[in-house]
Amino acid sequence: MPTGLASLIASGTKLWLDSVDPDLVVEARAAGATGATSNPVIISDLIKTGRFDDRIASLVGEGRDDETIAWTLTDELVRKAQGVFEDVWTASRGNDGWVSFELDPLLEDPASGLSDDDRVARYVELGKKWSAGGRNRMIKVPATAAGIRALEPLAAAGVPLNVTLIFTLPQYERARDSVWRGAQKRGSLEGFKSVYSVFISRIDVFTEKHVSGLSPTAQGMLAIVNAKRAWGANRDFWKTNPTPLAQEIVFASTGVKQAGVDPCLYVAALAGSDIQTNPPATNRAADDASRTFTRQVDRMPPDAVVAELDAKVDMHRLEQVLMEEGVEKFVAPQRALLDLIASRRAASARPA
């Protein structure tokens, strides 16, 4: 019997799993997923299961500190997922089959004392270091001021890039232009690959909290309009500047956050092109055999809804607020991951 995910993929969407849990990666690949992403929350959740306690104890026994253990585990989990998707990478000649490795979020910690120049230098250094972890590894860099500046030298160095934490069209454009400047410094565009992760659900959380005057038909629609505009801008730019591999939008954070909303609201509205990184729970809901997905990514909501959103939502303020929140949500999980590893270290040191 055909499944919902099969119809989503048939519509033209590439499905990347928002996890590097080894079991879920295998399950997702069997369901048609062709890539995956990682972040500190994902790694923390895996450590909490206890499945990696022996590995942590082994690394502790080797004298590794907590930060080294965190990055060793991340590297190993991402590398294992890469193995599952490497056949996709080979068959697509590098157009798909990627697994994203997120650079150190603590570079954006305001308490770090780092200047923007320091952050840029570290992003470039770490991006080059961790991109050496296999041919289908993509490096995740946030669309902060320093992250965007780092994209140009990283792209010039041949690092495949996933630009994350994008909330608005101007932010996407700044990131894309930085990547493109770097790409043009390469000797060849062969193998050049970049994707742009536009966050979805947090947009509608913002309007629900800060733009209460929206009509019922417009409330909950900005995320879809915003993502479709970014998708259209990306399509048009790369039509004008063609490359051997597709430079794509990733529709990220597609799990709905409001109660009583169809869990596949965003999956359905953005079906038909580019990439969706869906959380496991969203994929399970989408895989219901009763669901059928068709191409909707290039169909905007009614003009009246779009006009109301344009008139009532201050996108500059939205970007400021969500980036402030986003940086904290970016940094806090890495701190929590290090604390979790410290607790596992302490537990392994206690006598049985």
Pairs from 260-263 (Cβ < 8 Å, separation ≥ 24): 261/220
pLDDT in the model for residue 259: 83
Six-digit token string for 56: 């942590």
List beta partners, residue 141: 163
- Quick count: other Cβ atoms within 10 Å of Cβ 288? 13
Check residue 289 and report its DSSP letter: T
The size of the chain, in residues, is 352
Residue 89 has what pLDDT?
Answer: 98
At residue 347, the pLDDT reads 81
pLDDT value at position 346?
A: 85
Residue 242 pLDDT greater than 90, yes or no: yes
Q: pLDDT band at residue 344, thresholds of 50, 70 and 90?
A: confident
Rounded average pLDDT over 262-267: 96
Bridge partners, residue 287, by sequence: none
Average pLDDT taken over every residue of the chain: 95
If pLDDT is split at 50, 70 and 90, which confidence band does 299 have?
very high
Nearest-CA neighbor of 161 among 197, 119, 195? 195
Residue 279 has pLDDT above 90, yes or no: no
pLDDT at 1 over 90: no
Q: Distance (Å, rounded) from C-alpha 311 to C-alpha 21?
A: 43
Count the alpha carbons within 13 Å of 67 in the hemisphere toward its beta carbon.
5
Give the pLDDT band (50/70/90) at residue 345. Answer: confident
Residue 352 has pLDDT above 60, yes or no: no
Residue closest to 138 by CA, chosen among 84, 85, 180, 99: 99
Spatial contact of 138 and 81, defined as CB atoms under 8 Å apart:
no
pLDDT of residue 75: 97
- For the cut 60, the answer to whether the pLDDT of residue 177 exceeds it is yes
Work out the number of other CB atoms within 10 angstroms of the CB of residue 88.
Answer: 19
Q: Read off the pLDDT of each residue in 55-60 and give the average, rounded to a whole number.
A: 93
> 337: which 2 tokens?
């991951």
Q: What is the pLDDT of residue 127?
A: 98
Instruction: Work out the number of other CB atoms within 10 angstroms of the CB of residue 228.
Output: 22
How far is residue 206's CA from residue 220's CA, in Å, rounded to a whole number? 10
Q: What is the pLDDT of residue 11?
A: 97
Tell me which residue of 219, 226, 202, 223 sits closest to 312, measured CA to CA.
Answer: 219
The per-residue pLDDT for 351 is: 64
Q: What's the confidence (pLDDT) of residue 3?
A: 84
Dihedral sign for Cα 342, 343, 344, 347, please: positive
Give the CATH number of domain 4-347: 3.20.20.70
The model's confidence at residue 2, banded by pLDDT at 50, 70 and 90, is low
What is the pLDDT, as a whole number, of residue 260?
A: 87
Domain boundaries, given as residue ranges, for the chain:
4-347
Instruction: Give the max Cα distance, the chain.
Output: 67
Tokens encoding 292: 């059928």
For residue 41, the SS3 value is: helix
The rounded Cα 149 to chain-centroid distance in angstroms is 19
Q: What is the pLDDT of residues 180-237, one digit of tens each?
A: 999 999 999 999 999 999 999 999 999 999 998 999 999 999 999 999 999 999 999 9
Reference 102, options 181, 44, 174; nearest CA is 44
What is 107-120 written as a DSSP string?
GG-GGG---HHHHH
**d(C-alpha 140, C-alpha 131), whole Å:** 10
**pLDDT score at 258:** 85
